[in-house]
Structure 1
Amino acid sequence: MPDTLLATDNGDFDTVPWTRREIEQQPETLQATQTLLAADRTGIEAFVAPLLARPDLRIVLTGAGTSAFAGECLAPWLSKLLDRCVEAVATTDIVSAPLQNLRRETPTLLVSFGRSGSSPESVAAVDLVDAHVDEAYHLVITCNAEGDLAQRSNANTKVVILPEATHDRGFAMTSSFSAMMLAALSILGGIEALDARASAIAAAVSDSIARAEPVIERLARRNFKRVAYLGSGVFQGLAREAALKMMELSDGAVVTCFDSALGFRHGPKTIVNSETLVVVFVANDPLTRLYDLDIIEELRGDARCGEVVVISAQPADGAEITIAGMTQAADVDLLFPFVVPAQLLGLRVSELLGLTPDRPNASGTVNRVVQGVRIHATPA
């Protein structure tokens, strides 16, 4: 059964996976997301500004799977920007151990990411925060206007529904991931500040797609059995997301891991052999970048990897994929173009394995919206 049938100019139909379309539409969906936020700037700021003015406010970024990793990418950056602790705590952790993760007497803003907004843990996490935090507020960022979270607007809740195109139809989250991440960065970091950078981010994503395609085709055809993604700072969360994309889209046929540049030496480096591809996201931050370059030099010097691939914004790094026009960009802005090669690699590997990228899990035991979760009562 074809993934997607698209009419061509001559009236014929081509089969194009939704996953490919959703990767390639990101320059447009990012711009559309920022435009939507700018249009609702008054309402968003009326909700967020008084909360951010409170020094006692705890901010928790939450979601499951890819949605959780969006929070992991942003938490270090937002902590520095807002001069407060911003935590990434997955809904799966909140639901399974709420009394360990919630603080009753600490005012809390829960920022919920959800492509569908209907996964059992997403809904349960909101309910648990309301039940176990005396003063709870919710910022819901979702791609689905019909989802459960989208219906929860009240005085303590602001719901932001992203453009319909971001509600990915493919199994693996791609444009939904980048759009939700941009939305949170804009809302919490300042919509006006993001306005000045949104076009450059979108242009960098477009450049990344173009530059990555030939590299990805070559790498995918090498049939690596293992892939390790490394990134430091904000890129550690991105490395985790990249590893998940490959695992999902290959239906587990490719073994993956993720780590920081420094952490990789402490055991995970044992994954390296002649059938291992290591991808390193190189930071623009001058100090962080030095550690990234050190692990690249070490891995190439060991001569045990199948290949080491570098993704960077700095031409001096001699990267296989260099993102143009971003040499002075903040690392958080590089998240968006850097994720593209990982998405494309997962997609192309899936295709070469003979899988259906929009539904790669042949057994049907893993679903686009998670199923089979039982929510158990929390002890008083």
Structure 2
Amino acid sequence: MTHAVPAQEDGGATILEIGQQPDVWREVAMRSDPAVDGFLSELTARSDLRIILTGAGSSAFIGEIAAAALRRHLGRRVDAIPTTSIVASPLDYLEPTTPTLMVSFGRSGNSPESVATTALADELIDDVWHLVITCDADGALGRAHSGRSRSRVVATPERTNDTGFAMTSSLTSMLLTCLRLLGPATAEDGEALARAAEQLAGRQADIKALAQAKKQRFFYLGSGPLAGLARESALKMLELTAGEVVTYFDSPLGFRHGPKSALDGDTLAIVYVSADRYTQRYDLDIVAEIRAQLGTDAVTVISSAAIPDALVLSGLDGLDDALIALPYLVFAQYLALFTALEHGKTPDNPFPSGEVNRVVQGVTIYPMTENGR
């Protein structure tokens, strides 16, 4: 079923793509491909396997969110490294003699660094395999790995190939796919996550009220996997407002080591509370500290546990922070969208003059020399 795209002042395609995520997650969580499962089971049985999670921009932050959960679940080395870092300095990140599974994320798979990263891995690593998770199997990355014996291409549902500028359902569908294939996510988790996102859809008026305050500085704070979420949240706000607001991200503990200097009366801090009770204590300490400095309304707390003065998402008990990040991301997307609208932006194309593009342009990929430098 297709829906008419709202006018830009009503959220455009972006608000539809944010809103479709609960149904997308239900579908993704129920998917199974025995051929892909067998491919990955054989690899992850190797005790010497290294897994690299890679992508550019928002796709890189998928790896930052997922890495710890995969590390715990598989008992294997898992590193999140952006394609932009690998392409610029491959010998600093790729280990020639370490058997490696490279998991590449790409909405379209057409970013210049995407194919270049997997080509560098093929060139520099003796034993390398590829798992490509993309929203467009016909993109450059999907085509490059289609039919290869050491590669598998997994496409998310077609509707997740967002037409809006910012990655929303594309990002969360790739994250959930990764956690389903290699991590702790189960088919049943998809329903719990979808219901939590639906709770946020029902709280749009509250999120709009935060946007209507028109704060000029947004701080996003999260620990562990939620640090990657904080980074993605800050980018989403920066993108959709076309840079008209200042955004920061950090961990609650790291925040005190300098970044706290930027707090002022025109700040909204968003603190993502971990499901881990030990980590929660650090999250709640920074909430109390900022509220003491700027007032209760200066901090919005998102939690899966019952916490006073927090936006609480129920039904997520027992889930890893990497999974809880999914509905937390929906909050961040709505807040960025509604803030952009308050600033008069066109969310599907915040940069109509083309200063920043949906798919990165202008990148030259240079060949490695004989000596790698």
The TM-score bracket by the shorter chain reads over 0.9
Deviates more, 1:288-297 or 1:357-366: 357-366
Separation in structure 2 between the aligned mates of residue 205 and residue 43 of structure 1, nearest angstrom: 31
Q: Are 1:70 and 2:62 counterparts?
A: yes
Task: State the partner residue of 1:332.
Answer: 322
Q: Are 1:349 and 2:344 counterparts?
A: no
Counterpart of 1:6 (choices 1, 4, 7) is 4
Separation in structure 2 between the aligned mates of residue 21 and residue 99 of structure 1, nearest angstrom: 42
Task: State the partner residue of 2:348.
Answer: 358
Q: Using a 3 Å threshold, how does the CA distance of structure 1 residues 7 and 125 change in structure 2: closer, same or farther?
A: closer
Which aligned segments of 4 or more residues in structure 1 are displaced greater than 4 angstroms? none
Q: Are 1:226 and 2:205 counterparts?
A: no
Counterpart of 1:17 (choices 12, 15, 23) is 12
Separation in structure 2 between the aligned mates of residue 235 and residue 15 of structure 1, nearest angstrom: 29
Q: What TM-score, normalized by structure 2, do the two folds share? A: 0.94
Residue pair 1:31, 1:202 contacting (<8 A) in 2 also: yes
Residue aligned with 2:162, SS: coil
RMSD: 2.0
Task: State the partner residue of 1:155.
Answer: 149
Q: What TM-score, normalized by structure 1, do the two folds share? A: 0.93
Residue pair 1:113, 1:141 contacting (<8 A) in 2 also: yes
Deviations 1:253-293 (A, max 9, x none): 01101000100000011110001110000011011101000
Instruction: Please give the residue correspondences for 1:208-223 in structure 2 after superposition, counting only pairs within 5 Å.
Output: 208-211=200-203, 213-223=204-214
Give 1:362 shift: 3.5
Give 1:318 shift: 2.7
Task: State the partner residue of 1:374.
Answer: 364
Instruction: Please give the residue correspondences for 1:249-268 in structure 2 after superposition, counting only pairs within 5 Å.
Output: 249-268=240-259
- Matched residues, number: 367
For structure 2, list consecutive stretches of 5 or more residues without a partner in the other structure: none
Give 1:5 shift: 8.2
Deviations 1:13-62 (A, max 9, x none): x9651110000000011112223x32x1x111111001100011110000
**Structure 2 counterpart of 1:125, one-letter code:** T
Residue pair 1:58, 1:86 contacting (<8 A) in 2 also: yes
Q: Are 1:165 and 2:159 counterparts?
A: yes
Q: Using a 3 Å threshold, how does the CA distance of structure 1 residues 127 and 23 change in structure 2: closer, same or farther?
A: same
Task: State the partner residue of 2:48.
Answer: 56
Separation in structure 2 between the aligned mates of residue 268 and residue 259 of structure 1, nearest angstrom: 8
Q: Using a 3 Å threshold, how does the CA distance of structure 1 residues 284 and 16 change in structure 2: closer, same or farther?
A: closer
Residue pair 2:28, 2:173 contacting (<8 A) in 1 also: yes
Instruction: Please give the residue correspondences for 1:1-380 in structure 2 after superposition, counting only pairs within 5 Å.
Output: 6=4, 17-35=12-30, 37-38=31-32, 40=33, 42-151=34-143, 152-153=145-146, 154-189=148-183, 194-211=186-203, 213-303=204-294, 307-319=298-310, 321-379=311-369, 380=371
**Structure 1 counterpart of 2:347, one-letter code:** P
Give 1:223 shift: 0.9
Deviations 1:67-121 (A, max 9, x none): 0000000011211221222100000000000011101001110000000011100
Deviations 1:358-380 (A, max 9, x none): 00024311100110000012233
Give 1:316 shift: 2.9
Residue pair 2:5, 2:16 contacting (<8 A) in 1 also: no
Give 1:248 shift: 0.1
**Structure 2 counterpart of 1:261, one-letter code:** P
Give 1:194 shift: 1.2
Instruction: Give percent identity, aligned residues only.
Output: 46
Deviations 1:236-258 (A, max 9, x none): 00000000000000000011010
Residue aligned with 2:186, SS: helix
Residue aligned with 1:256, SS: strand
Separation in structure 1 between the aligned mates of residue 133 and residue 235 of structure 2, nearest angstrom: 21
Residue pair 1:5, 1:16 contacting (<8 A) in 2 also: no
Separation in structure 1 between the aligned mates of residue 110 and residue 96 of structure 2, nearest angstrom: 25
Deviations 1:333-354 (A, max 9, x none): 2111111111001101111111
Deviates more, 1:247-256 or 1:24-33: 24-33
Give 1:355 shift: 1.1
Q: Using a 3 Å threshold, how does the CA distance of structure 1 residues 15 and 197 change in structure 2: closer, same or farther?
A: closer
Residue pair 1:104, 1:134 contacting (<8 A) in 2 also: yes
Q: Using a 3 Å threshold, how does the CA distance of structure 1 residues 328 and 46 change in structure 2: closer, same or farther?
A: closer
Deviations 1:280-309 (A, max 9, x none): 000110111010000001111123787111
Residue pair 2:134, 2:156 contacting (<8 A) in 1 also: yes
Residue pair 1:275, 1:305 contacting (<8 A) in 2 also: no
Residue aligned with 1:158, SS: strand
Residue pair 2:199, 2:313 contacting (<8 A) in 1 also: yes
Q: Using a 3 Å threshold, how does the CA distance of structure 1 residues 47 and 287 change in structure 2: closer, same or farther?
A: same
Residue aligned with 1:6, SS: coil
Q: Using a 3 Å threshold, how does the CA distance of structure 1 residues 315 and 5 change in structure 2: closer, same or farther?
A: closer
Give 1:7 shift: 7.9
Give 1:214 shift: 1.9
Residue aligned with 1:315, SS: coil
Separation in structure 1 between the aligned mates of residue 345 and residue 179 of structure 2, nearest angstrom: 34
Separation in structure 2 between the aligned mates of residue 326 and residue 161 of structure 1, nearest angstrom: 26
